[in-house]
């Protein structure tokens, strides 16, 4: 892999390698005021000491489209490993979002969590304020599993219905490359997470 991994700030990083590009996402943590704390990224994109307190986890995804390069938690009830490695972005809608995380069926009907089939909504403090928001996909209240989506536009109609847990801080160009293979939901090309895991803080 020729692309170097760079540190960025906010609260857990999702790293996506797509067509030799790198996507960084950090899962955010709320402050005492319940507000999303925006990252302080300078030209060097190095974490500042005060930002380290907000970082909870850093994770990454390596992705392929049609075989070209662009976090495991044990085994679930489906007897499949609980990680995104080998799973696809099965739903891609331009000017809306890219969705993945169904590692059991691969078509949007499956997935599971470390808590079993699904788990309750944590809270709706963060909102879908624009492109690059990382949020839980669900089938209604308290039905979160392993599926997630990344917005490519502001999606305020999802506020109060989907739990936001992260934000893309660098690499939206990679998200937009994935978005380009979308049509009305079904991708024109196969988009696969070739690897995933947690990075050291």
Active-site residue 96, yes or no?
yes
CATH topology of domain 16-199: Cyclophilin (2.40.100)
How many angstroms separate the CA atoms of 109 and 130, rounded?
Answer: 26
pTM of this prediction?
A: 0.65
Active-site residue 184, yes or no?
no
Residue 135 burial by Cβ neighbours in a 10 Å radius (0-12, 13-18, 19+): buried
Kindly name the residue from 18, 162, 165, 169 that is annotated as catalytic.
162
Active-site residue 36, yes or no?
no
Kindly name the residue from 103, 158, 165, 169 that is annotated as catalytic.
158
Active-site residue 127, yes or no?
no
Q: Which residues of the chain have pLDDT under 70?
A: 1-65, 68-83, 197-201
Domain positions in the chain: 16-199
Residues 32-69 pLDDT 10s = 344 433 333 333 333 333 433 455 655 566 666 677 65
* E-assigned strand segments in 7-115: 16-18, 21-26, 58-65, 68-69, 91-93, 97-100
């Amino acid at each position: 892999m020729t692309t170097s991994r760079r540190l960025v700030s906010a609260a857990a990083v999702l790293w996506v390698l797509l067509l030799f590009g790198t996507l960084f996402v950090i899962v955010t943590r709320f402050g005492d005021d319940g507000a999303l704390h925006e990252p302080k990224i300078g030209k060097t994109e190095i974490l500042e000491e005060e930002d380290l307190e907000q970082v909870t986890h850093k994770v990454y995804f390596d992705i392929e489209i049609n075989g070209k390069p662009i976090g495991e938690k044990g085994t679930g009830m489906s007897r499949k490993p609980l990680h995104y490695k080998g799973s696809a972005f099965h739903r891609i809608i331009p000017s809306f979002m890219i969705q993945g995380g169904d590692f059991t069926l691969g078509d949007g009907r499956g997935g599971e969590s470390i808590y079993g089939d699904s788990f309750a909504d944590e809270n709706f403090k963060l909102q879908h304020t624009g492109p690059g928001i990382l949020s839980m996909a669900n089938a209604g209240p308290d039905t979160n599993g392993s599926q997630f989506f990344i917005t490519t536009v502001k999606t305020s109609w999802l506020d109060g219905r989907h739990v936001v847990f992260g934000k893309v801080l660098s690499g939206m160009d990679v998200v937009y490359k994935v978005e380009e293979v979308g049509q009305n939901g079904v991708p024109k090309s196969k988009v696969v997470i070739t690897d995933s895991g947690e990075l050291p803080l």
